[in-house]
Structure 1
Amino acid sequence: MNNFKIDVSVDCILSQAQKRIDELQLVIEFLQKQLEKAPEGSLNGTSSHSQLQWQRIVGTKRFYLSSGNSKLIKALAQKKYNALLLEDFKRQRKALDKLINSYVPQNGEKTYMSMSERWRKQIVPLNIPDSEYADLWQSLRYKGKTIENTGFLTSKGECVRSKSEIIIADVLASLCIPYRYEFPHKMKNGDLSRCIDVYSDFTCLNIHTRKEFVWEHFGLMDDAEYARNAVAKIEMYQNNGYFLGDNLIFTMETHEKPLNSKIVRDLVKKYLI
């Protein structure tokens, strides 16, 4: 889909920076509380006759601390460490705040879209806009499994195999997630001896990361034979490089515990938006 031999990856710097800022802020608040509870004064160590002597400094006064004051020595040493650490984390936080305020992610899409349509027709963009990429991805023609009229129709008018698949398809459509129903993937079978076509229930695209996810729904998990086959299928996906949360999503249900549309929506928001 891209005529360039290079591609500019999705820019996650700002989100990663904000995550780091949030982490730093928690540590900063923790260190500040620790310093508030620390003993008064500071610790100074001097060498005398090859032995280290500790002094506690409070204002202009100095007090020598004997080995019997080990608890206080440790508390004051920890106080110094916490204070140095606090300053370091504050510097990191300040640098990241500056980055957040000044950095504008750009993978070329904004520049491309700023040009008129007549100009865009003459250009091969470094990265095509998400909407165009999604349209191209969605337009791929393929031959899925043969399906008779089940009576289960999605909001897009597609015929699927169950009410639960209607739920998944309609949530995907409502959140504008491109998907292919029962798209064939070449995979090695259970004993890895040959390749077979595996018609995954849904193959979905995260438009922003441009990453594909396979979504399998296991709808009869209270049936022992079906459950064994489901476990074998999940294992086959793993043997072919598909892992839960990375590029594989699956949902399950039983007769007593049907598919929850909220869970479907939460999964879509987690992995596909």
Structure 2
Amino acid sequence: MNMMKIDGCALSVDCILSQAQKRIDELQQVIDFLQMQLEKAPEGTLYSTSSHSQAQWQRIVGSKRSYLSKGKTKLIRALAQKKYNTLLLDDFKRQRSVLDQLVNSYVPQNGEKIFMSMGDRLREQIVPLNIPDSDFADLWQSLRYKGKTIENTGLLTAKGECVRSKSEIIIADVLASLGIPYRYEFPHELKCVESSRCVKVYSDFTCLNVRTRKEFVWEHFGMMDDAEYAQNAVVKIEMYQNSGYFLGDNFIFTMESRDKPLNSQMVQKLAKKYLV
């Protein structure tokens, strides 16, 4: 769900600026480290020659050259490291400069602003390369599906949906409060670990990160102090992994027991980390 397509063309979600800024921060840390190391480095530069297939080392300080004996191993290594650090520093500064120019001049554009800048009548005649996030979220949310049959539990979310537990109310209401689209008990096909057959499961919540346009499954395991339930939960998690769902990538799970109920603050943190 993180690709925008039209007639065979595709653009991935534009993360160039965030990735560039991350790289800039990493480069700057290394630049600072290298500069610190060079300040501590011995004076002069290292020059190597060979005589009778044996390496000979010279130290150059200004216009003065001096040979370094085998006993000067520590100094030779320090000067070699200094030369390497100097070349590395120059290249990393060059990379930093290029990325700085990119960040200052690049404006991410997958076509949404251009599409929205056109009049309503024109937009009605156009198939856009990419629809705006809000329209994409509405389209995703509008999908009709047949969920799992649920009797009237009397447990309602803020949106008026009937759910199976108070913990599911907490999760649903956090998602709604953060504007995260979700589908309750949306069906997914999972591959069994010990066989090739597939099993239909109704995941507690299937959520959409609107910014990245990526789907996440959120399962809540609410009776982890029950041995049989806990064993079934482990099997279910393994089935998700076997089907390409991995924790933090496109899968989230929470759990609780009688003594350790669901922590609503943790639900908030998980939702903000992966879904906003």
The counterpart of 1:95, out of the listed 98, 105, 113, is: 98
Which residue of structure 1 lines up, in the alignment, with residue 206 of structure 2? Answer: 203
Comparing 39-48 and 13-22, the one that deviates more: 39-48
**What is the distance in 1 between the residues matched to 2:243 and 2:54?**
64
Task: Give per-residue Cα distances to partners, 1:24-70, cap 9 Å, x unaligned.
Answer: 11111111111111112222223445543322222333222111111
Deviation at residue 156 of structure 1 after TM alignment: 0.8
Deviation at residue 193 of structure 1 after TM alignment: 5.3
**What is the distance in 2 between the residues matched to 1:73 and 1:193?**
61
List aligned pairs for 1:68-87, cutoff 5 A: 68-87=71-90
Contact 2:220 2:253 in 1 (8 A): yes
**Structure 2 segments unaligned to the other structure (5+ residues):** none
List aligned pairs for 1:1-273, cutoff 5 A: 4-48=7-51, 50-189=53-192, 191-192=194-195, 194-273=197-276
Q: What SS class does the counterpart of residue 95 from structure 2 fall into?
A: helix
**What is the distance in 1 between the residues matched to 2:52 and 2:169?**
83
Deviation at residue 152 of structure 1 after TM alignment: 1.7
Residues 42 and 117 (structure 1), Cα distance of their counterparts in 2 relative to 1, 3 Å cut: same
Deviation at residue 179 of structure 1 after TM alignment: 0.2
Deviation at residue 112 of structure 1 after TM alignment: 0.4
Comparing 204-213 and 224-233, the one that deviates more: 204-213
Deviation at residue 74 of structure 1 after TM alignment: 0.9
* TM-score after normalising by structure 1: 0.94
* TM-score after normalising by structure 2: 0.93
Percent of pairs with identical residues: 78
Contact 1:2 1:128 in 2 (8 A): no
Contact 1:7 1:127 in 2 (8 A): no
The one-letter amino acid of 2:210's match is I
Contact 2:190 2:199 in 1 (8 A): yes
**What is the distance in 1 between the residues matched to 2:216 and 2:118?**
33
Deviation at residue 231 of structure 1 after TM alignment: 0.4
Contact 2:174 2:267 in 1 (8 A): yes
Residues 117 and 235 (structure 1), Cα distance of their counterparts in 2 relative to 1, 3 Å cut: same
RMSD of aligned alpha carbons: 1.7
**What is the distance in 2 between the residues matched to 1:22 and 1:190?**
42
The one-letter amino acid of 1:167's match is I
Residues 219 and 125 (structure 1), Cα distance of their counterparts in 2 relative to 1, 3 Å cut: same
**What is the distance in 1 between the residues matched to 2:218 and 2:53?**
69
Contact 2:5 2:11 in 1 (8 A): no
Q: What SS class does the counterpart of residue 22 from structure 2 fall into?
A: helix
**What is the distance in 2 between the residues matched to 1:79 and 1:101?**
32
Q: What SS class does the counterpart of residue 120 from structure 1 fall into?
A: helix
Q: What SS class does the counterpart of residue 184 from structure 1 fall into?
A: strand
**What is the distance in 2 between the residues matched to 1:175 and 1:34?**
46
**What is the distance in 2 between the residues matched to 1:151 and 1:108?**
45
Q: What SS class does the counterpart of residue 10 from structure 2 fall into?
A: coil
Aligned residues: 273
**Structure 1 segments unaligned to the other structure (5+ residues):** none
Comparing 114-123 and 47-56, the one that deviates more: 47-56
**What is the distance in 2 between the residues matched to 1:232 and 1:129?**
39
Residues 69 and 195 (structure 1), Cα distance of their counterparts in 2 relative to 1, 3 Å cut: closer
**What is the distance in 2 between the residues matched to 1:59 and 1:111?**
60
